[in-house]
Structure 1
Amino acid sequence: MMKRGVIFDFDGTLLDSMGMWTGIDRTFLLENGIEPPKGISDIVKKMTIHQSAAYFVERFSLAMTPQQVEDRIEALADEQYRYHLPLKEGAAELLAALHQREIPCCIASVTYPSLIEAALERLQIGQYIDFYLTPTHEGEGKHTPFLYHRAAERMGIAPAEAVVVEDSLHAAATAVIAGYYTIGVYDPVADGDWQKLCSLCQRTERSLKALCDPSFYSIFE
């Protein structure tokens, strides 16, 4: 079936930010007097913002509300998104090429809306993105396809007509099971999942630059 739109993940797919998130988890725990347990970032990376904040409060008995945890982590990340984090290789080129071909593109992300907006503005790629979506409730993390379905519905296309581009194994698995044509993109933070991602997705690439190619554009024709 011909594809009619692309749903991009943001962190680790378009933006080179996953390494920063590992550091922020540790920074937050350390400033609260807690030695970060081994593998803590691997646990929370599969959660929504709301879920990870509640998890931190419960697991570490923090004298904070989940909302206070969310606010503090957002503040820690803000400077990086606003001033420093770069795009992944090939991201700007690919988005510009899809825009030129009038192929709708959106972002489906579980990160903070304010951070997405700051990065889009600084990196000057907002012009290529029709809209972005983040979870509105607990059921919209990427362990379910609801966020992808919202994106496809807003673009006016069926799941089978949409391409999902993800770096995360669990998110890609959700998209594949839900019937999306799913492309896995390499991120060094998820290096241990790369072979599984290659086996799961319809296509995998080590760089978005590899998608700037007639073989990719042809699926929209």
Structure 2
Amino acid sequence: MTNFCPQAVLFDMDGTLIDSEPVWQIAEDALITARGQAPREEVRKAIIGMRLTDSLSVFRDSYGFTETVAELRAELIERMCSLIPTHVKPKPGATALIAYFSANGVPCAIASSSPLEIIETAVASQNWRPYMRHLVSGDQVAHGKPAPDIYLEAAQRMGFAPEVCLSIEDSVNGSRSAVAAGTVCYIVPDLSHSTLDQFDGISPHMFSDLHAVQRSLEHCDFG
């Protein structure tokens, strides 16, 4: 339980608002197998929460791809944007939580490692665009998660100090980024790619799902 009442909310997207990690895996596996190789689980887990250019650099080194990162990026974005409308679903409580903040006048933004094209496609697929004041991509900052850049950028665009912003994350890299930026980080861990012990010492605010996050804010008077 926490007494924090945010003035603004900065959402991670993949794994936090939408259940997109399995879809990323489909697209990434297709990219890998198209080149005659088998996906490796340790590589997949290593890139969770990274922005796409960084994760594809890991892919290129790990699998020995000959294409440039830019070429791999364009192919993977195309694969993802074709899958999102039919394969991506909201995480439990996501739509209700976004509506809750909107009804209480708390501005929201997305701070995602994904490219802007994917953020826009995903947000549009869930009809969330009217509720998001800004969409901030990892490609728009100098350093991706776990560096604090994206949350600092999102807070600045929103016009709030990081300390009064609530960030909501599911990954270790993302949570480290949000805390390093000075935001109050609520973690809803995606245990499909992480274990609870990996979050030790990052943030004391851990929740089972987004419904629990909303319940924790019921004491707030946003008026």
Q: TM-score, normalised by structure 2?
A: 0.89
Residue 27 of structure 1 deviates from its aligned partner by 2.0
State the SS of the aligned residue for 2:186: strand
Give the corresponding residue for 1:160.
163
Structure 1 residue 199: Cα displacement: 5.0
**1:108 and 1:151 in contact (8 A); partners too:** yes
Q: Is the 8 A contact 1:167 1:186 kept in 2?
A: yes
Q: After superposition, what is the alpha-carbon deviation per residue over 1:5-45, rounded to whole angstroms, capped at 9, x for unaligned? A: 01000000000111222333222111101122341101222
Identity of paired residues, percent? Answer: 25
2:71 is the counterpart of 1:68: yes
Closer, same or farther: CA 118–178 of 1 in aligned 2, 3 Å: closer
Whether the aligned pair in 2 keeps the contact of 1:166 and 1:182 (CA below 8 Å) is yes
Query: More helix per residue: 1 or 2?
Result: 1
- Report matched runs for 1:169-208 at 5 Å: 169-192=172-195, 194-197=196-199, 200-208=202-210
Residue 36 of structure 1 is aligned with which of 39, 44, 48? 39
Partner of 2:13: 10
Counterparts of residues 1-221 of structure 1 (less than 5 Å): 3-136=6-139, 139-192=142-195, 194-197=196-199, 200-213=202-215, 215-216=217-218, 218=220
Could you say if the C-alpha distance between residues 190 and 165 of structure 1 is closer, same or farther in structure 2, counting changes exceeding 3 Å? Answer: same
Aligned pair in 2 of structure 1 residues 94, 105: CA closer, same or farther (>3 Å)?
same
Q: Residues 8, 138 of structure 1: CA spacing in aligned structure 2 closer, same or farther, 3 A cutoff?
A: closer
Name the SS of the counterpart of 2:155 in structure 1: helix
* 8 Å contact kept, 1:94–1:212: yes
Runs of 5+ consecutive residues of structure 1 not aligned to the other structure: none
Q: How many residues align?
A: 220
SS in 1 for 2:220: helix
Q: C-alpha offsets along residues 19-78 of structure 1, whole Å, 9 cap, x if unaligned?
A: 222333222111101122341101222432112223333333323121110011112211
- Are 1:181 and 1:202, in contact at CA under 8 Å, matched by a contact in 2? no
TM-score when scaled to structure 1?
Answer: 0.89
Code of the aligned partner of 1:201: S
Q: What's the C-alpha RMSD, in Å, of the aligned pairs?
A: 2.2
SS in 2 for 1:70: helix
